[in-house]
Chains A and B, each alone.
Chain A
Amino acid sequence: MSEARITWVGGPVLKACATGPFSIFEALAVGERRLLGEVIQLRGDELVAQVYEDTTGLEPGVTVVGLERPLSVTLGPNLLGGIFDGLLRPLSRATDYQIQPGAAERSVARHCLEFAVRNGDILSGGAVFARTVASRPQSLLVPPWASGRVEALVEPGEHRDDETLLVLVDDAGQRHELTMQHDWPVRRSRPVRERLGVNAPMITGQRILDTLFPVARGGRAALPGGFGTGKTVLQEALAKWCDADVIVYVGCGERGNEMAEVLDEFPQLEDPRTGRPLAERTVIIANTSNMPVAAREASIYTAITVAEYFRDQGLNVALMADSTSRWAEALREVSGRLGELPGEAGYPAYLSSRLAEFYERAARVTSLAGAEGSVTIIGAISPPSGDFSEPVTLHTKRYVRCFWALDRQRAQARFYPAIHPLQSYGADVQELADWWKRSGNPDWLVQRQRVLELLEAQAHLERMARIVGRDALPAQQQVRLLCADLVNEGFLRQSSFSKVDRFCSPARQVAMLSVLLHFADRADAAVAAGVPPARLAALPMLRQLQRLGEEFSEDDLLRLRQLPRQIDYEFDQLQTVASHAG
């Protein structure tokens, strides 16, 4: 291994004089504590490196050792249910409540295995060679670079995670010793056989998302919002209830207490589809705002690499990144330290291409072994003072298919999720309509369009009402406003803290929407028949409709589907009275 000696150090950046060959982006171990670093520039004998940990105490003369590989993480069966730092080192095994810099003692885990292959089988990269025997079995993969004939297979049963389980001998005669884990460089995407198109939505259980702005499996969504607009609560709600097989949750430069919340809650919550604790399908990567900045930059790549690893096992993975702005700021900070020319708002000129690289790693694919899997990215953005015209939001907008804009005014009225329906979009709607058709709602596209038109009309009419007064609007328009309010209150509002309403199945969404649109139809007809709008606003069932999500749980679908009949009844009454009066 090549060595170098530090000649200059300041903050997280150091310069060193190399005595052997180093390559760009090679990982480094710095000093006695083996702090993790990465080469970022090479000039003759001198190398410039950034260190991912606290550099206090480093001085010129200290040895830097090259690790002969790019910054990599270890992928294997120890990830699910765990919490890790930005470089995928386990945080839960630490013995001190404060994080001590330096490489921790590696502890060994054991897993019980059964093999999927026999001696003599020919395996290619990405193939499943064994599965763990556990409440939630996991596949063990041949690393993408290895292939060959299986030799020296060990007995099934319990093994250490660093033990050689089998040897592959490839055509060139090279031997690959396989353990449960393998390393992968985080900045390189894992290879796939084929990228596939959009076929199904990722169901989030949030009505405003699934019905109005759905994200596809393998899609990319951005969630921008100023502070206090509910980004984190929404990200957590998605992590809890979306129908992915594995969740990778990366807290990138965010609050420590939020991580504590996830750690506290997830083991107690049940996955509605499997009945197992939610923690079992979750990998948490925590690089909180007070942890080293350079590792924050790496944590995003670590997270997407972990997501790809599970995708390669044929699973649907959702990656929640909170927040990509902090990652961009880390880029800016490191770039500033290197003296690079700043671009827009001080961000380096390569911000846009880095964002593109990251979001491009989301996809639905056929893996090397032929399994179908997906990685869906949901990236939160924290724009300064909630202004969506800043560089991170603008560039992200170019690469995502869904844009879920959070609105401060809605948040201040505690109208959650505070997604603004007129500023948000979902670009895969046409492709996803087929899925809704297959799932029993052929009218989804039409219904969705009606809701959006209603909300658009509301914005327009409210501007008018502000000038002339609501009572002065024509009756037809007053009713439109009433119905738009109803859609907002009864459908779009959904509390993450309500046991009944925190998750809404597609079936319940369809039923609720049908009820509300039925009300809108009858209301329009009634007004056309001469019923004054004030009478409609006084209908006793209105209150129930406004609290539709709270009042009808997933178990009340039958009752919910009967509501149109009650609506008909009340309207018939109303019109009878009206015609008698007329």
Chain B
Amino acid sequence: MQADLLLENAVTRIEGPLLFARREARVGLNAAVEVLAGTGPPRLGRVAALDETSMVIEVLESTSGLALHGTRIRLHPEPLLFGVGPHLLGRVFDSVGRPLDGGPPVAARSRRRIEGLAINPAWRALPRDFIETGIATIDVMNSLVRGQKLPLFSAGGLPHDRLAAEIAQRARLRGTQGEESFAVVFAGIGVPHDAAEQFRLAMESSGALGHTAMFLNLADEPGMQRLLAPRYALTAAEYLAFEEGRHVLVILTDMTNYCEALREVSASHGEIPGRKGYPGYMYSDLASLYERAGCIRGRPGTLTQLPILTMPGDDIGHPIPDLTGYITEGQIVLDRELDRRGIYPPVRVLPSLSRLMDAGIGEGFTDPDHPALAHQLFAAYARALRVRVLASVMGEQGLPESDRRFLAFGERFERQFVHQANARTLEESLEAGWAVLQGLPHGELTRLSNAQIGRHLGAEARA
């Protein structure tokens, strides 16, 4: 293996984040580069293209202050690596894995590529361990399982940070009291300082900070590094999960900032823009992050992702939520109207979905009647919302009796099932679900069998 090489006065041109330099030494595509100028810390970059005499270096940090003369380039023989080791947890890092908490650097046990390598689909194990989050709309209707990637689709001003922190504190397998090795990796991508601090405090107050590693790219730091923070965080998470055998929950927030940075970088490369100016490869790029979640056959750990994104203009059809939804295994959608009405967590259940739910619930996993209950709640609430639209046109009095009962159900569902002041166990959540179904005409509960109705709802109360 060749040693690191230092090139001096090789830079011929600087354009935005791109550095054009003479290729005075052997170097391969994607090799890591450090750009040194003056006395500042080295800036990271990678070789983006090369021919026989020159190369293009993509600087992954700000290029401001770089000059053609006096800028030195240190070439590494390998792509960007992150040295990971046993003492990652309890630490705070910047977006490229340098300690921010004043502590010593992490002793590296292995150096892993930050881009990761694709997990062989034949080696994946199907995620099916139900995670209890304490939130009824998730546990009953959109269940999370270990190894899943389930994003929160939120919008500015909604309590997604609080919800993510609560899930990170509570998420446990049922029946275990946290004796398993559990870890949280938090990647703050362009987040405000106070949001990062709030998360840290929340984890500290629940005593979970010792199991948490944080990677922070704050809002005032260069946009280019927003692309690196999740990669360093996921590299650490993969090590914790698949080498140390921990159950890792990765929180990536805010993926919208990540995509904005991607658009910025793509534009500076002069690439043909796709929808809304985002690059055509955004799907593949996002997939290279999200697909790093999963379970591996024969390895004890799991990697679960909870990415958070804020939908620009509250629009779920915007390319960022749209492409994310095509990659992730479902989504939890937060709603401004529910939030305004004081319902917490303001989860809009109809567009929410968990694709891996069916593998982790029901007989042998949670409760045999859990799937039927979830389907009935979805069907009934969908009808309640349709009736609500009718009622707004014709008035409640103009509705048939059965429609009025669904209208009342809708209100009950939001106030007593979606809204919750405290964490609920799965049993409490299921109980709340059956309770709000009381009062609907049994003949219309088509997703439940007669036996299920008999077991949980008893005889029909006549209105």
Q: What residues of chain A have their CB less than 8 Å away from a CB belonging to chain B? A: 7-11, 15, 54-61, 83, 91-92, 94, 96-100, 226-228, 232, 251, 253, 255-257, 259-261, 263-264, 286, 288-291, 293, 326, 329, 332-333, 336, 342, 345-346, 382, 384-387, 409, 412-415, 466-467, 469-471, 489, 497, 542-543, 546-547, 550
Contact with A along B267-282 (1 / 0, CB 8 A): 0000111110000110
B337 at the binding interface (Cβ < 8 Å): no
What residues of A have a CB within 8 angstroms of the CB of B117 in the complex? 54, 98-100
* Contact B359 A289, beta carbon cutoff 8 Å: no
Contacts A8-B50, A99-B117, A227-B325 given; indicate if A336 touches B272 (C-beta within 8 A).
Answer: yes
> Considering the chains assembled together, what is the distance between the CA atoms of A346 and B447 in angstroms?
44
Contacts A59-B26, A255-B329, A257-B127 given; indicate if A326 touches B283 (C-beta within 8 A).
Answer: yes
Q: Identify 6 residue pairs between A and B in the complex whose beta-carbon atoms are under 8 Å apart, listed by A's number.
A: A11-B49, A56-B30, A59-B29, A256-B294, A291-B118, A466-B389
| Minimal Cβ-Cβ distance residue in A for B317 | A385
* Contact A543 B446, beta carbon cutoff 8 Å: yes
> Considering the chains assembled together, what is the distance between the CA atoms of A248 and B451 in angstroms?
40
CB distance from A519 to the nearest CB of B (A): 15
CB distance from B419 to the nearest CB of A (A): 20
What residues of A have a CB within 8 angstroms of the CB of B296 in the complex? 97
B398 at the binding interface (Cβ < 8 Å): yes
B350 at the binding interface (Cβ < 8 Å): yes
Interface positions, chain B 257-292, Cβ under 8 Å from A, are 271-275, 280-281, 283-284, 287-288, 291-292
What residues of B have a CB within 8 angstroms of the CB of A387 in the complex? 317
Q: When A and B form their complex, which 5 residue pairs have the shortest distance between CB atoms, in order from nearest?
A: A10-B49, A385-B317, A289-B287, A413-B382, A227-B325
Contacts A290-B291, A413-B350 given; indicate if A56 touches B79 (C-beta within 8 A).
Answer: yes
* Contact B383 A413, beta carbon cutoff 8 Å: yes
Residue from A9, A227, A255 within 8 A of B322 (CB atoms): A227
CB distance from B256 to the nearest CB of A (A): 16
> Considering the chains assembled together, what is the distance between the CA atoms of A200 and B50 in angstroms?
56
**Of A94, A251, A342, A414, most B-chain CB atoms within 10 Å:** A414
What residues of A have a CB within 8 angstroms of the CB of B359 in the complex? 261
**Contacts across chains A and B counted by CB atoms under 8 Å:** 208
What residues of A have a CB within 8 angstroms of the CB of B330 in the complex? 228
> Considering the chains assembled together, what is the distance between the CA atoms of A457 and B23 in angstroms?
72
B201 at the binding interface (Cβ < 8 Å): no
Residue from A9, A91, A94, A326 within 8 A of B50 (CB atoms): A9
Interface positions, chain B 45-72, Cβ under 8 Å from A, are 48-52, 56
> Considering the chains assembled together, what is the distance between the CA atoms of A226 and B447 in angstroms?
24
Count, chain B residues at interface, CB 8 A: 83
What residues of A have a CB within 8 angstroms of the CB of B350 in the complex? 412-413
B105 at the binding interface (Cβ < 8 Å): no
What residues of A have a CB within 8 angstroms of the CB of B297 in the complex? 97
CB distance from A33 to the nearest CB of B (A): 12
| Minimal Cβ-Cβ distance residue in A for B113 | A56
**Of B28, B147, B325, B371, most A-chain CB atoms within 10 Å:** B28
CB distance from B304 to the nearest CB of A (A): 12
> Considering the chains assembled together, what is the distance between the CA atoms of A409 and B382 in angstroms?
9
Residue from A57, A96, A255, A467 within 8 A of B31 (CB atoms): A57
* Contact B51 A7, beta carbon cutoff 8 Å: yes
Contacts A10-B49, A60-B50, A382-B326 supplied; 4 other A-B pairs, CB < 8 Å:
A97-B299, A99-B119, A257-B127, A289-B284
* Contact B280 A336, beta carbon cutoff 8 Å: yes
| Minimal Cβ-Cβ distance residue in B for A232 | B355
CB distance from A427 to the nearest CB of B (A): 28
Interface positions, chain B 9-43, Cβ under 8 Å from A, are 23, 26-31
Residue from B52, B283, B329, B375 within 8 A of A61 (CB atoms): B52
What residues of A have a CB within 8 angstroms of the CB of B271 in the complex? 336
* Contact A94 B120, beta carbon cutoff 8 Å: yes
- For the residues of A in contact with B, the DSSP-based class is mixed
* Contact A228 B353, beta carbon cutoff 8 Å: yes
Residue from B272, B299, B399, B447 within 8 A of A469 (CB atoms): B399
Interface positions, chain B 300-333, Cβ under 8 Å from A, are 316-319, 322, 325-327, 329-331
* Contact A259 B291, beta carbon cutoff 8 Å: no
Contacts A256-B291, A293-B284, A326-B283 given; indicate if A414 touches B379 (C-beta within 8 A).
Answer: yes
> Considering the chains assembled together, what is the distance between the CA atoms of A53 and B117 in angstroms?
11
B181 at the binding interface (Cβ < 8 Å): no
Contacts A253-B283, A469-B398, A546-B446 given; indicate if A259 touches B121 (C-beta within 8 A).
Answer: yes
> Considering the chains assembled together, what is the distance between the CA atoms of A382 and B23 in angstroms?
43
B3 at the binding interface (Cβ < 8 Å): no
Contacts A412-B382, A413-B383, A414-B379 given; indicate if A260 touches B125 (C-beta within 8 A).
Answer: yes
* Contact B443 A543, beta carbon cutoff 8 Å: yes
* Contact B383 A332, beta carbon cutoff 8 Å: no
Contacts A9-B49, A542-B443 given; indicate if A414 touches B375 (C-beta within 8 A).
Answer: yes
B428 at the binding interface (Cβ < 8 Å): no
What residues of B have a CB within 8 angstroms of the CB of A329 in the complex? 280, 283-284
CB distance from A486 to the nearest CB of B (A): 10
> Considering the chains assembled together, what is the distance between the CA atoms of A228 and B287 in angstroms?
17
Contacts A10-B56, A60-B52, A228-B331 given; indicate if A257 touches B124 (C-beta within 8 A).
Answer: yes
| Minimal Cβ-Cβ distance residue in B for A382 | B326
* Contact B327 A289, beta carbon cutoff 8 Å: yes
Contact with A along B372-384 (1 / 0, CB 8 A): 0011001100110
B110 at the binding interface (Cβ < 8 Å): no
> Considering the chains assembled together, what is the distance between the CA atoms of A332 and B275 in angstroms?
13
* Contact A466 B390, beta carbon cutoff 8 Å: yes
What residues of B have a CB within 8 angstroms of the CB of A259 in the complex? 121-122, 124
CB distance from A330 to the nearest CB of B (A): 8
* Contact B121 A10, beta carbon cutoff 8 Å: no
* Contact A260 B283, beta carbon cutoff 8 Å: no
* Contact A97 B327, beta carbon cutoff 8 Å: no
Contacts A227-B326, A382-B326 given; indicate if A58 touches B29 (C-beta within 8 A).
Answer: yes
* Contact B378 A9, beta carbon cutoff 8 Å: no
What residues of A have a CB within 8 angstroms of the CB of B147 in the complex? 257
CB distance from B273 to the nearest CB of A (A): 8
B342 at the binding interface (Cβ < 8 Å): no
* Contact B123 A290, beta carbon cutoff 8 Å: no
What residues of B have a CB within 8 angstroms of the CB of A489 in the complex? 446
* Contact A288 B118, beta carbon cutoff 8 Å: yes
B463 at the binding interface (Cβ < 8 Å): no
Contacts A56-B30, A257-B124, A469-B398 given; indicate if A290 touches B51 (C-beta within 8 A).
Answer: no
What residues of A have a CB within 8 angstroms of the CB of B126 in the complex? 257, 260-261, 263-264
B400 at the binding interface (Cβ < 8 Å): yes
* Contact B122 A55, beta carbon cutoff 8 Å: no
> Considering the chains assembled together, what is the distance between the CA atoms of A264 and B296 in angstroms?
13
> Considering the chains assembled together, what is the distance between the CA atoms of A239 and B421 in angstroms?
44
Contacts A59-B28, A60-B52, A384-B275 given; indicate if A98 touches B120 (C-beta within 8 A).
Answer: yes
B242 at the binding interface (Cβ < 8 Å): yes
Contacts A8-B49, A336-B272, A497-B371 given; indicate if A94 touches B122 (C-beta within 8 A).
Answer: yes
> Considering the chains assembled together, what is the distance between the CA atoms of A465 and B325 in angstroms?
34
* Contact A290 B121, beta carbon cutoff 8 Å: no
B449 at the binding interface (Cβ < 8 Å): yes
> Considering the chains assembled together, what is the distance between the CA atoms of A15 and B355 in angstroms?
43
> Considering the chains assembled together, what is the distance between the CA atoms of A414 and B372 in angstroms?
11
CB distance from B44 to the nearest CB of A (A): 16
Contacts A97-B242, A329-B283 given; indicate if A288 touches B291 (C-beta within 8 A).
Answer: yes
B394 at the binding interface (Cβ < 8 Å): yes
* Contact A7 B30, beta carbon cutoff 8 Å: no
* Contact A56 B28, beta carbon cutoff 8 Å: yes
CB distance from B177 to the nearest CB of A (A): 28
* Contact A91 B122, beta carbon cutoff 8 Å: yes
Residue from A255, A326, A470, A471 within 8 A of B291 (CB atoms): A255
* Contact B281 A333, beta carbon cutoff 8 Å: yes
B367 at the binding interface (Cβ < 8 Å): no
Contacts A336-B272, A413-B350 given; indicate if A257 touches B27 (C-beta within 8 A).
Answer: no
| Minimal Cβ-Cβ distance residue in B for A256 | B121
| Minimal Cβ-Cβ distance residue in A for B31 | A57
What residues of A have a CB within 8 angstroms of the CB of B325 in the complex? 226-228
